[in-house]
Amino acid sequence: MAKKRPQTKATRPQLSDAARAQGADGDFPVVGAREPCPCGSGRRYKACHGRAAAHAATELVHRPFEGLSGEGDWVALRELVPAATAELTLKDGLPEGVPSVMLATVLPMAWPALRREDGTVLLGLQNDTASGDISRDLADTLQRALAAEPGTPVQGRRAPADSPRLQDLLDPEGPFVPVVHDGFEFWVQDAENASAEVTASLERANAAAIPTVKLTGVDSAYWCETPEKNHLRWVMPYPEEQLLDALARLHAAGRSGLGEGTRLVGSFRAHGLTVPVWDLPSGVGAEDVEKPAAEFAERLATALASEAPLTADERRARGGLTNRQVTLS
């Protein structure tokens, strides 16, 4: 698995006295990339102090949700689940006038965030972000939504390189309980009395959503239905190499399935975690794989604990699984 780069805060450039005089608090003045650098070097900003700022803004954080409660579910809601919400718990509590903060997979018009008329904040997860750190961009959007006027959407932007991340704002002990929805009626507070335009928008969004169910017996596993066959996508927290070895041991032994007609077909890589994927017959629903998934989790735990070298058959199985990996992020 690709190693996560250090998530340290960017060092603030040292400014000359003349540059500091431009801001009473000593913050670096905002200038264009081709303008002279405020440090007084005589070089353009992009070739001087702007270089470090640009690097900090684009450096990729491979595991942006690490340290958050329910990391696997954050990954699933970001990449796999069409319509879901989860209440967020802030470290410092809710600001006055904000009754709740809710994470949502998607918001109308692809808004990054929305503060409703009643003060409730909705934070969209499945949006393009401006930097390489999804957590920092989401935290910046969340902070601006908390301060926005009720009834106002919040637009995206590049978060300052030294701004907080979600790990700084959210309670690490707070529960993260995704609620998967059949559609996007959670967009509006009174869907039954919505305007014709809103109703039409909801109908279009709902028609594109793949039916999805979160399993209750294991963590971060999601059943979904497609026209050809059903699938189980299971976000797992284990190191990739160790997990692939364990899956190969089970696959070579004919114990990687979830029941008759099911098949482990490969995996996704997403935000630093591995997501094994099973094909399921069309008639197999989410409730049908609850028990097999729990039994598989026990087999997997035993395989993960093994330190024996892979056999020839297991190495071949591992090669096949590796060849069927798809990177989502």
Q: What is the DSSP string of 204-268?
A: HHHHHPPPEEE-SSSTTEEEEE-SS-EEEEE-B-S-HHHHHHHHHHHHHTT---SSTT-EEEEEE
Quote the mean pLDDT of the chain: 87
What is this structure's pTM? 0.82
**Over the stretch 175-234, which tens digit does the pLDDT of each residue have?**
999 999 999 999 988 777 777 877 888 888 899 999 999 999 999 999 999 988 999 999
CB 272 within 8 A of CB 78: no
pLDDT top residue among 33 and 87:
87
Q: How far apart, in Å, do the first and last CA atoms of the chain sit?
A: 13
**E-strand stretches of 41-83:** none
Among 124-138, 165-179, 187-201, 280-294, the least confident range: 187-201
Task: Give the pLDDT score at 189.
Answer: 80
Show the tokens assigned to 78: 């970001």
Burial 202-230 (b: 16+ CB within 10 A, else e): beebeeebebbbbbeebbbbbbbbeeebb
Instruction: Report CA-CA distances (Å) from 204 to 182, 183, 225.
Output: 13, 10, 18
Mean pLDDT value of segment 120-133: 94
Quick check: helix, strand or coil at residue 192? Answer: helix
The whole-number pLDDT of residue 54 equals: 52
Which pLDDT does position 244 carry in this prediction? Answer: 98
Q: Which residues contact 159 (CB under 8 A, 6 or more apart)?
A: 57, 130, 131, 133, 136, 137, 139, 140, 141
**CA distances for 224 relative to 81, 217, 281, angstroms:** 9, 16, 11
Within 10 A of 283 (CB to CB), how many other CB atoms are there?
Answer: 9
Mean pLDDT on 278-287: 97
Structure tokens at 217: 């017996």
Of the listed ranges 164-173, 194-203, 282-291, 303-312, the one predicted with least confidence:
194-203
